[in-house]
C-alpha cells in the first residue's frame, strides 16, 4: 500500500515519473515540506499541503567549485559564488545551481535570489530568507540604491583615460543568450577605474550604475578591452562544455546598501580575488 504522500505525488500529479525515482529522491533528502524539512516516504499529507522537490537532469554536470555563505540572518543571506555555477535552475543545471545548493545547506525551502549575476561571473549574490521582507530588499536594486563593485582583468587600451564614466544603450541580442550595444538613448552606465596593471593587462574596478543583462561584458568589449576568457563578447567562441581552467575574469567583489529593516549601513566583500600574475 502506497502511503498518502506517495500516492499524492506519484499518481495524482507526477505519474510520468516512476516510483523508484521518487524513492531515490526521498532517500537523498530531495523532498521537503513548506518549512524546508526533509520528508520521508512514510509521512502522510492532506489537501493544501505544499511539497517541494528538486528537479533532476540526467547526467547533470558537476561544478567542481564551492560556494560560501558569508552572512545569514532572518531577512537575507549573502553568498560568495564560484565561477561557472548558475544562480538559479535553468536548462541542463538544476542541482548544480547556487539556489539548490543553498537550499540544501540551509534547509530554507523559500530561499529566493534578490538579484542575480551571470553563471560565468564569480562573487556576491544576495538571497531573501523571509518572504515577508523580500520586496523591501528587491526594491533597493529597482531603485539603484545598491553600490556594487566588480573587479575584472582585461587588456589595456592606450586610447582610454581613467577613471572613465561610460554610457551606452544595451539591449537583448537576436541570440537570446547575448546582449548588444545599439545607437539610441542611453540606458546603461558604468564607472571604470584601474587598480593595477602589467605590460598588457589591467585589473579594473567597475561600478555599474544600472543593471542591464551582461552590461559590464558588453561595455568592456565595446571599449576594446574585452574581459579575459569571455566566450561571448565580442564574439561567441565557445558554447560547449565549460573549461574550468579558464574562468571569466570578472568578480562581483563588494556590495553596499542601507538595510531597509534596520536603516543601518551594510557592506560585504567577496573572499575571492583576481590576480594579474595568474593570467
pLDDT digits (tens, 9 = 90+) for 77-110: 999 999 999 999 877 888 899 999 999 999 998 9
CB atoms within 10 A of CB 235: 9
Helices and strands per DSSP (H, E), number in the chain: 5, 13
pTM above threshold 0.85: no
Query: From its phi and psi, is residue 193 left (phi > 0), alpha (psi between -120 and 50) or beta?
Result: beta
Predicted pLDDT at 61: 84
With a CB cutoff of 8 Å and minimum separation 6, the contacts of 216 are 150, 152, 190, 206, 208, 227, 250
Predicted pLDDT at 57: 61
The three-class DSSP label of residue 197 is strand
Cα gap 137→125, rounded to integer Å: 12
Which set of grid coordinates corresponds to residue 31?
523532498
DSSP state for residue 260 in the 8-state scheme: T
Helices (H), the chain: 4-7, 19-27, 98-106, 134-142, 215-222
Q: Which residues of the chain have pLDDT under 50?
A: 1-11
Share of the chain above pLDDT 70, in %: 81
Which set of grid coordinates corresponds to residue 200?
598588457
The three-class DSSP label of residue 272 is coil
- Provide the terminal-to-terminal Cα distance of the chain, rounded to the nearest Å: 61
Cα gap 171→169, rounded to integer Å: 7
Amino acid at each position: 500500500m502506497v502511503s498518502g504522500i506517495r500516492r499524492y505525488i506519484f499518481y495524482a500529479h507526477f505519474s510520468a515519473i516512476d516510483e523508484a525515482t521518487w524513492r531515490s529522491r526521498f532517500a537523498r533528502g530531495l523532498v521537503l515540506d513548506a518549512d524546508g524539512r526533509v520528508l520521508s516516504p512514510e509521512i502522510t499529507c492532506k489537501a493544501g499541503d505544499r511539497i517541494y522537490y528538486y528537479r533532476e537532469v540526467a547526467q547533470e554536470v558537476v561544478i567542481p567549485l564551492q560556494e560560501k555563505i558569508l552572512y545569514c540572518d532572518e531577512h537575507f543571506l549573502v553568498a560568495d559564488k564560484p565561477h561557472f555555477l548558475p544562480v538559479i535552475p535553468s536548462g541542463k543545471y538544476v542541482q548544480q545551481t547556487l539556489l539548490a545548493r543553498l537550499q540544501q545547506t540551509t534547509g530554507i525551502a523559500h530561499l529566493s535570489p534578490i538579484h542575480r549575476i551571470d553563471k560565468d561571473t564569480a562573487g556576491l549574490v544576495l538571497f531573501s530568507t523571509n518572504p515577508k521582507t523580500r520586496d523591501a530588499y528587491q526594491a533597493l536594486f529597482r531603485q539603484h540604491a545598491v553600490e556594487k563593485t566588480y573587479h575584472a582583468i582585461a587588456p589595456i587600451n592606450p586610447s582610454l583615460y581613467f577613471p572613465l564614466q561610460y554610457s551606452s544603450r544595451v539591449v537583448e541580442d537576436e541570440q537570446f543568450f547575448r546582449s548588444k550595444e545599439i545607437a539610441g538613448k542611453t540606458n546603461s552606465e558604468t564607472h571604470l577605474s584601474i587598480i593595477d596593471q602589467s605590460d598588457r593587462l589591467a585589473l579594473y574596478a567597475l561600478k555599474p550604475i544600472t543593471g542591464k543583462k551582461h552590461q559590464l561584458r558588453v561595455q568592456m568589449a565595446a571599449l576594446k578591452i574585452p574581459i579575459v576568457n569571455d566566450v561571448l563578447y565580442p564574439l561567441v567562441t565557445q558554447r560547449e562544455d565549460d573549461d574550468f581552467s579558464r574562468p571569466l575574469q570578472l568578480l562581483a567583489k563588494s556590495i553596499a546598501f542601507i538595510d531597509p529593516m534596520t536603516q543601518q549601513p551594510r557592506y560585504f566583500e567577496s573572499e575571492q580575488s583576481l590576480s594579474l600574475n595568474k593570467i
